[in-house]
Amino acid sequence: MSQLRHSLLSDEALVEHLQNGNADALTILFGRHSPRLFGIARRILRSDAEAEDAIQQIFLDVFRSIQQFDPDKGDFRTWLLMFAYQRIFNCRRSLSAHRFFDTDPFDELLPELLHGSERPLGYSLAETSVLIEQVLSHLQPRQRQTIELVYYEGLTAEEVSSRTGETVRVVRHNLYRGLEKLRKALCRSAPSDGTVSKGGLR
């Protein structure tokens, strides 16, 4: 009965339970978000086994780090995605160091963009999540959709092409253009109020 009640709660309400020491909330969050994160991890790590291990470790780390989540700075889904990406790319770098796979430039775009250092411009994880959401909201719709399908849903360029009806060449163009605008926005100093101006994304 407790599991059923928890399953009806929002992510943010579950996080509050988790922050108060109720570990059952983590089970619901895992069931709710692990399938999408597994798809992303499998695409980046190119191994079901490595992806499974990464997702298990990510949720253990979420449990240990949940006090870092601040609902005033953004929603849990965005925070979790950024949290997961940071760890998945750390895992990828470790596997690359052991020559687990050859580097695919398409896959390396986001880690180069966001994870060359642990946190861009010294922002906290929550601040980075908010900043990225603000920048994405001002991208051209097709560029934003492509970035979200590739990095939030873990689709390949070919799968995005099938989903959107655009050619793979156009998908890659939208991705590269969108990521370049995202990179430029993140490399600029953010205003004191923490917002990103629409005019800055020319």
**Per-residue pLDDT, 115:** 44
Amino acid, res. 70: D
Instruction: Please tell me whether residues 198 and 110 are part of one structural domain.
Output: yes
Instruction: Please tell me whether residues 47 and 92 are part of one structural domain.
Output: yes
**Per-residue pLDDT, 189:** 41
Instruction: Please tell me whether residues 73 and 148 are part of one structural domain.
Output: no
From 80, 99, 118, the end of a domain falls on 99
Whether 68 contacts 125, CB under 8 Å: yes
Whether 104 contacts 110, CB under 8 Å: no
Measure Cα distances from 35 to 9, 67, 114, 139, 197 in Å. 19, 24, 23, 27, 34
State how many domains the chain has. 2
- Sites in the chain below the pLDDT cut of 70: 1-6, 96-131, 186-202
**Per-residue pLDDT, 121:** 46
From 99, 123, 143, the end of a domain falls on 99
What does the alpha-carbon distance between residue 111 and residue 174 come to, in Å, rounded to a whole number? 18
Instruction: Please tell me whether residues 93 and 144 are part of one structural domain.
Output: no
**Per-residue pLDDT, 128:** 64
Instruction: Please tell me whether residues 72 and 5 are part of one structural domain.
Output: yes
Backbone dihedral region for residue 67 (phi beyond 0: left; psi -120 to 50: alpha; all else: beta): alpha
Amino acid, res. 111: P
What does the alpha-carbon distance between residue 114 and residue 159 come to, in Å, rounded to a whole number? 23
Instruction: Please tell me whether residues 74 and 111 are part of one structural domain.
Output: no
**Per-residue pLDDT, 31:** 94
CATH number, residue 130: 1.10.10.10
**Per-residue pLDDT, 112:** 47
Instruction: Please tell me whether residues 118 and 202 are part of one structural domain.
Output: yes
CATH number, residue 1: 1.10.1740.10
What does the alpha-carbon distance between residue 201 and residue 185 come to, in Å, rounded to a whole number? 7
Instruction: Please tell me whether residues 114 and 190 are part of one structural domain.
Output: yes
Instruction: Please tell me whether residues 87 and 112 are part of one structural domain.
Output: no
Instruction: Please tell me whether residues 89 and 112 are part of one structural domain.
Output: no
What does the alpha-carbon distance between residue 131 and residue 195 come to, in Å, rounded to a whole number? 7
pTM: 0.56
**Per-residue pLDDT, 69:** 92
Domain carrying residue 84: 1-99
What does the alpha-carbon distance between residue 27 and residue 170 come to, in Å, rounded to a whole number? 40
Instruction: Please tell me whether residues 26 and 76 are part of one structural domain.
Output: yes
**Per-residue pLDDT, 136:** 79
- Tens-digit pLDDT profile for residues 117-158: 344 445 555 566 666 777 778 888 999 898 888 877 777 788
Instruction: Please tell me whether residues 173 and 136 are part of one structural domain.
Output: yes
